[in-house]
Amino acid sequence: MKRFRIGHYLKTSLWFLPLLFVLGGVILSLIATAIDNGSLIPQSITGDPTAAMQILYLIAFAMLTLTGLLLSLLVVAVQLAMGTFSPRIVRQILQDRPSQSAIGLFAATFAFAMLAMRKVRTTADGGSVPGLAVLIAIVLVVGCIGTLIWYLNHIAQSLRVAALTGWVSEDTMKSLDRVYPDHGPQQPLDPSLITTPHSGVVFEVDHDRLVDLARKSGCRLELLWAVGDFVPTGAALVRVAGEPAVLSARAVTASIAIGPERTLNQDVAYGLRMLVDIAIRSLSSGPFEDPTTTVQAIDRLHDIMRQLARRPLHSGEHHDADGTLRLLAPTMQWGGYVRLAFDELRQAGAASPQVVRRLRSALDDLLTVVPEERRPDLEHQLELLGDLSSAAAPTKADRRMTQVPDPSGLGSAADLLTPTSKQQ
């Protein structure tokens, strides 16, 4: 148990791995200066003692500054993660090996340069320069610059929800395998199903490739998950209809890109989802916290939905060159886009006159451009919006004013604006 406690402490400590790097830098500096006492590398390459001293000094100073910068970035990341996600996520960030390694590399380069400076000798006849140590220090600096650029990307990527939840999930899965190593009886698998090798979100599907595979095998494929859906490990991904002659399950799964989070590659709904999230978050503490930000998000939702309003949406059926149906894929239709764009916003902003007016204006405008068969979804949203806003309005006068469509969302009604030709 004592060994476990020590191992656990070292594993979850921020200082242990950087300390090993620093010790490595010290040892490397001692070895380099012992091998080269000033005669191995000519001064035409490393410079005279004055130049070498300046190089090593600047390297040491820069590395000390960058080490402090990395520690500051890590502290900021911890604060953001604690405030945005959960205080319990701190341990995952502090024991992040890439962060520890980056800090360790900068600190090790600082220690290397500091120890190398003591071997630079300045005398009347020119002095001596530990050329090997100077060259190694320059190489370490180049590596540190590359590491800094990589680390900035790493720390930014690490603050994504997908990355943080992925860390916790991976550690939990490892613990699960240790505590419960027996996976239990295997569930019999339908031979017509192709399972996914790992979990993730479907963010792109190569429809042409799947159609080609199905055509060559003489079968039809049915994709069981839509783009943007999360698929757990081992779940059925594709159903095969018919008797395929030769169909590679690996080729099928390779045609479906599964990653840690949704992207906008083929997922139009995800763009709407992000705008709705921004709008709702602005109202998280109440309908009057930041309705203007919500209105700005509605402006973009309105624009996207207007561009989508008259476009033919894909049926999810993909045929080969002969017209034979080869692939069925779940595809969102108009009603789904309308509900995604307006359902949650309508509920979250029903008590905000500004939001209600802007939503009403957007829905009224969309009704003027959509085909007749798409009108019922919008009319239903208007009806629900009226019910919710009427229930939330404190007085009859407020209730009447929320019924006024307002494209600016600033609370202005028709009687407060200069009349247009439509009103005259």
Least reliable range by pLDDT among 122-136, 241-255, 380-394: 122-136
415 pLDDT exceeds 70? no
pLDDT value of residue 371: 95
* pLDDT above 90 as % of the chain: 51
- pLDDT (mean) for 138-143: 95
Average pLDDT of the residues of the chain: 87
- 410's enclosing H/E stretch is none
Which ranges of 309-374 does DSSP label H, i.e. alpha helix? 334-348, 353-367
- pLDDT (mean) for 195-216: 92
Least reliable range by pLDDT among 158-167, 171-180, 303-312: 158-167
Q: Which residue has the tokens 């783009």?
A: 227
**64 compared with 417, residue with greater pLDDT:** 64
Burial per residue of 151-173, b for 16 or more beta-carbon CB atoms within 10 angstroms, e otherwise: beeebeebeeeebbebbeeeeee
Assign 424 a pLDDT band (cuts: 50, 70, 90). very low
SS3 content of the chain, % helix, strand, coil (to 5): 60, 10, 30
83 pLDDT exceeds 80? no
Distance, in Å, from the CA atom of 321 to the CA atom of 318, rounded to the nearest integer, reads: 10
Structure tokens at 25: 């830098």
Cross-strand pairs, 195: 236
Q: Which residue has the tokens 């247009």?
A: 420
pLDDT value of residue 411: 56
150 pLDDT exceeds 90? yes
pLDDT value of residue 421: 52
Structure tokens at 9: 């402490």
Distance, in Å, from the CA atom of 140 to the CA atom of 58, rounded to the nearest integer, reads: 13
Distance, in Å, from the CA atom of 68 to the CA atom of 199, rounded to the nearest integer, reads: 38
Least reliable range by pLDDT among 7-21, 30-44, 190-204, 349-363: 7-21
> Is the sign of the CA dihedral 357, 359, 362, 366 positive or negative?
negative
pLDDT value of residue 169: 85
pLDDT value of residue 155: 86
Assign 213 a pLDDT band (cuts: 50, 70, 90). very high
126, 48 in Cβ contact below 8 A?
A: yes
87 pLDDT exceeds 80? no
Distance, in Å, from the CA atom of 175 to the CA atom of 165, rounded to the nearest integer, reads: 15
pLDDT value of residue 294: 93
Q: Which of 155-159, 303-307, 348-352 has the highest mean pLDDT?
A: 303-307
Residues 6+ apart with CB under 8 A from 136: 28, 32, 112
The SS3 assignment for 128 reads strand
Distance, in Å, from the CA atom of 385 to the CA atom of 399, rounded to the nearest integer, reads: 12
CA nearest neighbour of 380 among 388, 413, 393, 398: 388
Assign 409 a pLDDT band (cuts: 50, 70, 90). low
**107 compared with 167, residue with greater pLDDT:** 107
∠ CA 360-364-367, nearest 5°, is 140
pLDDT value of residue 304: 96
pLDDT value of residue 240: 93
Assign 239 a pLDDT band (cuts: 50, 70, 90). very high
* pLDDT above 70 as % of the chain: 94
pLDDT value of residue 113: 94
Distance, in Å, from the CA atom of 303 to the CA atom of 374, rounded to the nearest integer, reads: 17
Distance, in Å, from the CA atom of 424 to the CA atom of 419, rounded to the nearest integer, reads: 7
- pLDDT (mean) for 30-50: 83
Quick one: 8 exposed, middle or buried, by C-beta within 10 A (0-12, 13-18, 19+)? exposed
- pLDDT (mean) for 120-127: 77
CA nearest neighbour of 212 among 252, 256, 172: 252
- pLDDT (mean) for 299-314: 95
- pLDDT (mean) for 162-168: 82
412 pLDDT exceeds 60? no
pLDDT value of residue 418: 61
Prediction pTM value: 0.78
